A and B are shown apart, each in its own frame.
Chain A
Amino acid sequence: MFVSDFRKEFYEVVQNQRVLLFVASDVDALCACKILQALFQCDHVQYTLVPVSGWQELETAFLEHKEQFHYFILINCGANVDLLDILQPDEDAIFFVCDTHRPVNVVNVYNDTQIKLLIKQDDDLEVPAYDDIFRDEEEGEEHSGNESDNGSEPSVKRTRLEEEIVAQTMKRRQRREWEARRRDILFDYEQYEYHGTSSAMVMFDLAWMMSKDLNDMLWWAIVGLTDQWVQDKITQMKYVTDIGILQRHVSRHNHRNEDEENSLSVDCTRISFDLPLKQVKQKFQSMDVSLKENLREMIEESANKFGMKDMRVQTFSIHFGFKHKFLASDVVFATMSLMESPEKDGSGTDNFIQALDSLSRSNLDKLYHGLELAKKQLRATQQTIASCLCTNLVISQGPFLYCSLMEGTPDIVLFSKPASLSLLSRHLLKSFVCSTKNRRCKLLPLVMAAPLSVEQGTVTVVGIPPETDSSDRKNFFGRAFEKAAEGTNSRTLHNHFDLSVIELKAEDRSKFLDALVSLLS
């Protein structure tokens, strides 16, 4: 069920309990987690934090911890599947789910006791009505009445029997129709994946409602929202609306000309590149003053030369003291790179911890490290895109475009994780659309594959919706991948919370692709 009063039905319920936090591995989840941690520390709520990067980890961690806790909070995972079915919890376990993944699974919506959704209902949810999906089991089959009537007149009995048969047939037919309609409704509802309001913003809203919001929390909310924009998870319009909401909070917290050590300011001219032009090697702050001032004109000139339209976007920056100034999107890239850096040991939790730490104000050195990694990542992305376009690696399979990175491509290890690969794919698609002459190809979505593990022979496959101006960012590849895998018995692993990212055995690649082509034609 949807929680209406976050404070009464969520915060005050868990305030005197010990809770278990499951946090997914994306920047928005990290930011939401930081805000919630700050609130819990302020109110002395004992919690345990467990990072999870996929469904398997979630299940394992849940099994390990289920004896010790009654209250579980899931951040950016769990809304789009039948949680009770997957986790099989005890009856007194209560789950609070704060997740941007949509569509919200209908079981989660209509369960009144154990699942509480921390999701604002003014998000465009379009949940099907209860009666269209659930139907109480009516015990029909009243044959027992007939057998006992041996003594009555045969003709009356026969008529009654006929009537009963007719009634049964009608009921059965109605049931079949209802079930067919139900299948259609559910299919339409669950066909496209998309994302709702940032979890970090939801948490900040809770803090604000309780008048416990701080500047730091506001910054995390901004970073969470910016992460959604950087990863193209929300539409442009939604981003602008949400920025407006945050802008009001910023003005409330940070007055102009106030001599504070840290302040947030709105930076209206943030420039984004489709084809990254050149990497500024020096640190921005040590550049020549005149160069800095002319930077804007220089970039605009270059933009016009390349024929790019107005690229300005509203975002935020933050000052820590005199020296440290960061842009929200830079922080997003830094944190993402920290989280997905190729690590030495097996578990991804070390990276999660590093990334979580880097969001704290006292760990700026980690943030700088993340920025260096992010710069490397962006450079590698640019070079890979350039080489893909030069060598025509992007080919049309009919209903979609396909590109596969080969083992041995430089920096290939940077692209095996979902967020990095998605970023690469999106920019590749944008560049491809700009550079191709084929009109039909401009409207196609992209499927991208990159090697994941050489020993196990697996590749990561992501599906990206087509690149259009008015895109609603809805992605049908989740379901498409599932069906294609089922149909061909390919060995796939749908472990990521984003269903449009899967792992696949390299040997099954071609039959999987063929199935996908025929499915989508």
Chain B
Amino acid sequence: MFCEKAMELVRELHRAPEGQLPAFNEDGLRQVLEEMKALYEQNQSDVNEVKSGGQSDLIPTIKFRHCSLLRNRRCTVAYLYDRLLRIRALRWEYGSILPNALRFHMSAEEMEWFNHYKKSLATYMRSLGGDGGLDITQDMKPPKSLYIEVRCLKDYGEFEVDDGTSVLLKKNSQHFLPRWKCEQLVRQGILEHVLS
């Protein structure tokens, strides 16, 4: 049946949970495009026949093939667009450097789109908030406090703070540091947020 492959592409993306980017299904896309090409060529020859011969009983077939083409196009565009939306969300989740695993899941064009988006976002952020610009990708929810108390769970070593100076993170030492600096380490499990 026509359009099966295109449906598979859509289903594959539908199955992937929000925020995840499955690998770029180059094969599937190629097959869909080949099917489209085949349908188009068949239609082309049939239309020529009808035009020259006047056989009007080919017209339903032509119409049918045309609908399949439209359906294929719709599915592929949906597939590509949804992937772009997910890639855009990655920028907000991971920052400007993506983990390698995710980068392999993107096609070259998607990578290019991502870079354009990054640049666009950076230009916008620089235009906000006075001289230094404002990093709006931090603090997705309004924070309760600018600084948090953290406790070090493992020996980590030196950790750089604002003005170039650094702090030595040793096990069981407690620190009171700006929230945004600690977030990554808290996520990694090296620091523990202490609620007093």
Interface, chain A (partner B; CB < 8 A): 18, 37, 40-41, 44-51, 64-65, 68, 347, 349-350, 352-353, 357, 360, 362
Contacts and interface: CB of A to CB of B under 8 A. Distances in A.
A300 to B, nearest CB: 41
A360 B149 CA distance: 14
Nearest to A356: B174
Given A46-B177, A47-B176, A68-B166, A41 B149 contact: yes
Contacts of B158: 68
A49 B175 contact: yes
A343 to B, nearest CB: 12
B165 interface: yes
B172 A349 contact: yes
Interface of B: 146-147, 149, 151, 158, 161, 165-168, 170-178, 194-196
A349 B173 CA distance: 8
Contact of A49 (B168, B173, B178, B195): B173
Contacts of A357: 194
B195 A18 contact: no
Nearest to A360: B196
A357 B195 CA distance: 10
Contact of A46 (B151, B161, B171): B161
Contacts of B196: 37, 41, 360, 362
Given A360-B196, A362-B195, A41 B147 contact: yes
Given A18-B161, A18-B165, A362-B195, A44 B172 contact: no
Contacts of B170: 50, 64
A48 B175 contact: yes
Contacts of A50: 170, 173
Contacts of B194: 357
B166 A40 contact: no
Contacts of A360: 196
B51 to A, nearest CB: 80
A17 to B, nearest CB: 10
A44 B147 contact: yes
27 contacts: A18-B165, A37-B176, A37-B196, A41-B196, A45-B176, A46-B147, A46-B161, A46-B178, A47-B176, A48-B167, A48-B168, A48-B174, A48-B176, A50-B173, A64-B168, A64-B170, A68-B158, A68-B167, A347-B171, A347-B172, A349-B172, A349-B173, A350-B172, A353-B172, A360-B196, A362-B195, A362-B196
Contacts of B167: 18, 48, 68
A18 B146 CA distance: 15
Contact of A48 (B146, B147, B173): B173
Contacts of B172: 51, 347, 349-350, 352-353
Nearest to A33: B174
A47 B161 CA distance: 12
A50 B178 CA distance: 18
A306 B172 CA distance: 47
Contacts of B146: 44
B161 A49 contact: no
A22 to B, nearest CB: 11
Nearest to B166: A68
A49 B165 contact: no
A352 B172 CA distance: 9
B156 to A, nearest CB: 13
Contacts of A352: 172
Contacts of B147: 41, 44, 46
A19 to B, nearest CB: 10
A64 B176 CA distance: 18
Nearest to B177: A46
B165 A68 contact: yes
A357 B172 CA distance: 12
Q: Output the residue of A45, A48, A350, A353 with the most chain B CB within 10 A.
A: A48
Contacts of B173: 48-51, 349
Contacts of A48: 167-168, 173-176
Given A41-B149, A44-B146, A68 B175 contact: no
A41 B195 CA distance: 12
Given A37-B176, A44-B146, A350-B172, 6 more contacts: A18-B167, A48-B168, A49-B175, A50-B170, A353-B151, A362-B195
Contacts of B174: 48-49, 353
A69 to B, nearest CB: 8
A208 B150 CA distance: 27
A350 B151 CA distance: 11
Nearest to A345: B171
Contacts of B195: 362
Contacts of A41: 147, 149, 176, 196
Nearest to B152: A48
Nearest to B195: A362
B149 A68 contact: no
B191 to A, nearest CB: 12
Contacts of B168: 48, 64-65, 68
Contacts of B176: 37, 40-41, 45-48
Given A40-B176, A46-B161, A349 B149 contact: no
A10 to B, nearest CB: 18
A350 B168 CA distance: 18
Nearest to B146: A44
The 8 A-B residue pairs with the shortest CB-CB distance in the complex, in nearest-first order: A349-B172, A49-B174, A48-B175, A360-B196, A47-B176, A50-B173, A44-B147, A353-B172
Residue of B167, B177, B178, B194 with most chain A CB atoms under a 10 A cut-off: B167
A37 B174 CA distance: 10
Output the residue of B158, B167, B176, B177 with the most chain A CB within 10 A: B176
Contacts of B151: 353
A50 B172 CA distance: 8
Nearest to B158: A68
A362 B196 CA distance: 7
Contacts of A350: 172
Nearest to B149: A41
A145 to B, nearest CB: 54
A338 to B, nearest CB: 14
B171 A47 contact: no
B175 to A, nearest CB: 5
Nearest to B165: A68
A60 to B, nearest CB: 10
A18 B166 CA distance: 10
